[in-house]
Amino acid sequence: MSILDKILGRDEEPADGDGPKNEAAGYTLKIRRYDPESGETAFWHEYDVDIAPERSVLDGILYAKDHEDASIGIRCSCRAAICGSCGVRINGKSALACNTRISDAQAKAGRGKPIVVEPMGNMPVLKDLIVDMDAVHWKKIQRVVPWLLPDGEPPEREYIVPAESMIDVTQSMACIQCGVCVSACLSLEVDPEFVGPAALAKAYRFVGDPRDGQTEERLRDLAEDPHGMYDCTHCFACIEVCPKDVAPMDQIMRLRRRATGDYEIKDKNNGYGHGKAFVDMIENWGTLHEAQMLPRSFGDGSMIKGQTEPGAVKQLVEALPTAIRGLKSGKVTPKAVLFHPKLPDQDNVRKIYKAIESQGERLELNLYIVADNSADEEGAMAEGTKEGLA
Amino acid sequence: MPQHDVLVIGAGLAGQRAALAAAETGASVGVISKVHPVRSHSNAAAGGINAALDPEDSWESHAFDTVKGSDYLGDQDAIEVMCREAPDEVLRLEHLGVTFHRSDEGKLGTRAFGGASAARTYYVADITGQALLHVLYEQLMKHDEVTRYEEWFTTALARDDSGRLAGAVTRNIRDGSLELFTAKAVILATGGNGQIFNPTTNALICTGDGIAMAYRAGAPLMDMEMVQYHPTTLAGIGLLITEGARGEGAHLLNAEGERFMENYAPNKMELASRDVVSRAEQTEINEGRGFPDGTVALDITVVPRHRILQSLREIVNVGRDFAGVDITSEPIHIKPGNHYVMGGIKTDIDGQTDVPGLYAAGECACVSVHGGNRLGANSLLDTLIFGRRSGVHAAQMGRGMAQPTPAGSELAREREAIQSIISRDRSGRRLSEIKAEMGKVMDEQVSVFRDEERLRGALEVVKRLQEEVKTVAVDDKGSVFNQDVLGALELQFMLDNAECIVMGAIERKESRGAQFRTDFPERNDDEWLKHINLTADGDIPAVSYSDVTMTQWEPEERTY
């Protein structure tokens, strides 16, 4: 199909049409090019690629390299989402090019619009779609002491450990170090020093491993680091983009639960107090009492106990302008500070707390153990895409 | 001019294991890789690693299965070494942090694998290779006495006046600079050459670089005709569905819904050796009992759903993302596809090639432990055992030796060769077109069933392409990440590999292991129970033979 036909074909389709995709579909990739040797700034170039809808965006880029311009720079190897080379941003969203279907990317881009491919974010671009992983991603991995530190000499045979513990850390072992979560991380955008989702998931891989002898030291280190485990803002971006379902943010939350619940590490970042304040308030009222959030967080989680953490006084003073702004804008009122209503069915909330607390162990969801929910979704997705395939 | 005692080229499992082993002896070690080490193709070995670790099992049983799997072409001394050392190596990796699957008692647990008489495959879900690779890389990050040259592409080996290996010429991909590294020993751990074929399960980086460089440096290649077609790959793109699926109990069905392995391997069924299963599938397809897309079906739905989700998660994703199939609820269409080269650079059990100072380990090497057909889950083991042995031997060999001086002008010659590719104007076909023609002819004429006529035809094509690639031009004229010019060098490497594969296949006038000649359909131990060695010699490789080492297992008829 010629480029002209293709464009005409697209134009002829009704704008609100939801009909089946053209089987011999052509696509247009709009790739951000950058040549550090040219002295020019980055620029956009469009490539028409003629591949089947079920092939990947990477196949599209390779098609452009094979047929039109082999100087397009992209790291890629396995084509199967296991080597982690081809992280890019597609229509603004971080992903592996090899496991993003080109027809899905087209649907996101919108009919008749090019599929936009850019290098990953939060890392310096070296050339075209190639970023400097060493300067950011690997530096952060190195930061979390990424090797097992067992106590003493190894046993004669294998370490005997609970089967579940190995399955538990397998979720973070499944990480392929592609950097897609690093690219998508909003906290990293604000604080480039943030250890970040990939490295913290890697840290959990050791914290969750019963063979490691430095669990508390690792947790304390990452709790006390102002750019450590409490620097995550729970935006879920890393979970959404991770091509391997590692769910880095879940691993960060596990680090926090281990640090607070198992080791009661009262960190100078008030992560401990903040988490405790949250839990206590929901238990009391069912909803957050926003006005008490700051003082409780800085006060070891409690208004009554007051400032047990000397460093927190300074932070509390620093937070005053925020409180004043809230008062001025009407977001916080004196009444709201003093009174906070309970939920009508607060008793049920307390029952949930009781039920959880009566469990001997903390219930942790894990991809490899409790996989049925996500699997059902995947099943449904597969159902939706089965049509048209042999 | 960077100098090391031991220079390792390639940083997959064999290369990393060699580097760590050499460094443990106190040697200065450099490890060069054209990709970041964790991008290496060892990642793709999903199913597991074999070891007779269970007290009920024995290394002799593992060794016999391997010998039989090799169709008696494997060297039994090397197989004995590998199987004997397997348990300690698996324990070593466990101690370093590999999150191996556990039994209910918390001990290492196993799964069944093809061609094995016991369940002796240790695994991490279906990411075993990835887990091993990442754990070894953790150790490289820990041990900074190993200098890592990540994203450096080696173009040629360098020798000294006496002909012994002295170093390698390597291009820094990031800035295009070319360096001559010197070393007392060079260990090639550059992996396989599956990209010669299209489709293939192999990653784009598997271009046989080390095999070709060793061949050009005068090292013999052995049994290059032995190319494994894996029984379960996706049609078209060639992606791998792990043998772990059949290990967990999945069935193979033809289009008539028949479990056809009953007719080929009534005892082992789907878990016969890979060559046997691939031939069975191809026979079903050729005789019209396959699906219209040239496939048969792998039915994983017979495996309990929770088991699939726990231990075959990766292929749930592959099915969903690359075939649009939910493998937990319906069969997936598969066919035999290029997967692994049993042949490679001829080495002894310490990784030494016939060129002094040059070692090889992993898929690029041919010890030979796989002979005519590799058993599933023996490849990870091969990389670790012979990677380690090479590293130790190379370091010891270099102790007390003076740093060698490369003779001649390899650096200047390589610089000129690269520059001439970059500066050349286009006069013929694109690189991608030459590669595509090679991939097609190899898959059509040098695959599961072979015969003299089609092999001769393939050789003609390969020789023509070797000429054509000499004048190929590239689009990228820059220095930074010029992947285009590296692609041209890789294509030259691949064509050397292809030539040797076809030559070996023509030479071996029998059917053994992965080599099935329709014009010589029987195994012929009287004439062909021997290795075929190819040495660079002008226009066409020189052929010689070497004996297969037998220790305790006489060749028998091979049935499953």
Nearest residue to B298 (alpha-carbon basis) of B244, B228, B237: B244
Mean pLDDT to the nearest integer, B502-530: 98
B274 is known as an active-site residue: yes
Measured between CB atoms, does B175 come within 8 Å of chain A?
A: no
Asked whether B359 and B353 are in contact (CB, 8 A), the reply is yes
Q: Do the chains contact at A176 and B483, CB–CB below 8 Å?
A: no
Provide the b/e sequence for B83-109 (b: ≥16 CB within 10 Å). bebbbebbbebbbbbbbbbbeeebbbb
SS3 A66: helix
Which residues in chain A have Cβ-Cβ distances shorter than 8 Å to B237? 55, 79
Burial of residue B216 (CB within 10 Å: 0-12, 13-18, 19+) is middle
Distances (CA, A) of B426 to A162, B179, B429, B470, B474: 62, 28, 8, 12, 7
CA angle B442, B443, B445 (to 5 degrees): 65
Selected residue with higher pLDDT from B38 and A366 = B38
Residue A249 to residues A147, A201, A260, B249: CA-CA distances in angstroms?
21, 8, 16, 35
- Within 13 Å, how many C-alpha atoms sit on residue B6's CB side? 37
- Per-residue pLDDT, A385: 29
pLDDT of residue A371: 42
Which residues, numbered 102 to 131 in chain A, qualify as contacts with chain B under a Cβ-Cβ cut-off of 8 Å? 126-128, 130
Q: Please compute the mean of the pLDDT values over residues B171-194 and round it to a whole number.
A: 98
List the single range of A358-372, B23-37, B219-233, B470-484 with lowest mean pLDDT.
Answer: A358-372
* Strands laid side by side in the B49-50 sheet: B49-50, B121-122, B110-111
Put simply, the answer to whether B328 touches A177 (Cβ < 8 Å) is no
Which among A158, A383, A389 has the least Cβ separation from residue B108? Answer: A158
**C-beta atoms of B43 and A83 within 8 A:** yes
Of B167, B178, B187, whose CA–CA distance to B408 is shortest? B167
Which residues face A101 on adjacent strands?
A: A56
Burial class for A373, CB neighbours closer than 10 Å (0-12, 13-18, 19+): exposed
**Residue-level pLDDT at A6:** 43
Work out the minimum CA distance from A259 to partner chain B, whole angstroms: 22
Q: Is the pLDDT of residue B553 over 90?
A: yes
User: Please, what's the largest Cα pairwise distance for chain A?
Assistant: 74
Residues in chain B with CB shorter than 8 Å from the CB of A130 are 481
End-to-end CA distance of chain A: 23
| Nearest-Cα residue of chain A relative to residue B103 | A163
CA A269/CA A373 separation, integer angstroms: 35
Cα B270 to Cα B276: distance, rounded to the nearest angstrom = 9
| Mean pLDDT for chain B overall | 96
A211: chain B residues, CB-CB within 8 Å: 97
CA dist B551 → B74, B87, B116 (Å): 11, 21, 20
Residue B120 contacts residue B50 (beta carbons within 8 Å): yes
B95 touches chain A (CB under 8 A): yes
> Maximum Cα–Cα distance for chain B, whole Å?
68
Position with higher pLDDT, A328 vs B283? B283
B484 and chain A in contact, CB less than 8 A: yes
Of A286-300, B87-101, B262-276, the poorest mean pLDDT is in: A286-300
Q: Take residue B379 and report the two structure tokens written for it.
A: 């490849």
Quick one: average pLDDT of B505-520? Answer: 98
Look at the alpha carbons of B235, B238, B242, B243 in this order and tell me if their dihedral is positive or negative. positive
Q: Hey, is the C-beta of B177 within 8 angstroms of any chain A C-beta?
A: no
Q: CB neighbours of B416 closer than 8 A, spacing ≥ 6?
A: none
Of B462, B436, B439, B40, the closest CA to residue A65 belongs to B436
Size of interface A-B (CB pairs under 8 A): 205
What's the pLDDT band for B162 if we cut at 50, 70, 90?
A: very high
Tell me whether the omega of the peptide bond preceding residue B329 falls within 30 degrees of 0, making it cis: no
Which DSSP string corresponds to B396-413?
HHHTTPPPP---TTHHHH
Find the CB nearest A381 among B100, B292, B320: B320
Phi and psi at residue A302, in whole multiples of 5°? -135, 140
Q: Which of B171, B274, B374, B517 is catalytic?
A: B274
Q: How many residues does chain B have?
A: 560
B 211-250 → A contacts, CB under 8 A: 237, 239-240
Kindly state whether A191 is in contact with chain B, defined as any CB-CB distance less than 8 angstroms: no
B430/A211 CB distance under 8 A: no
User: Is the CB of A379 less than 8 angstroms away from the CB of B329?
Assistant: yes
Segment-wise mean pLDDT, segments of 10 residues, chain A, 390 residues: 39 38 74 97 97 95 98 97 97 97 96 97 98 98 98 96 92 96 97 98 97 98 97 95 95 95 92 90 89 76 54 71 83 77 90 86 63 40 30
* Cβ-defined contact of B314 to A101 (cutoff 8 Å): no
Name residue, tokens 């009122």: A333
* Element of type H or E holding B188: strand B178-188
Dihedral of CA atoms A121, A122, A127, A129 in degrees, nearest 10, equals -20
Residues in chain A: 390
Q: In terms of Cα–Cα distance, which of B360, B414, B406 is closest to B183?
A: B406
Judged by DSSP in three states, A9 sits in helix
Residue labelled with tokens 């369940």: B119
Asked if A166's CB is within 8 angstroms of B475's CB, the reply is no
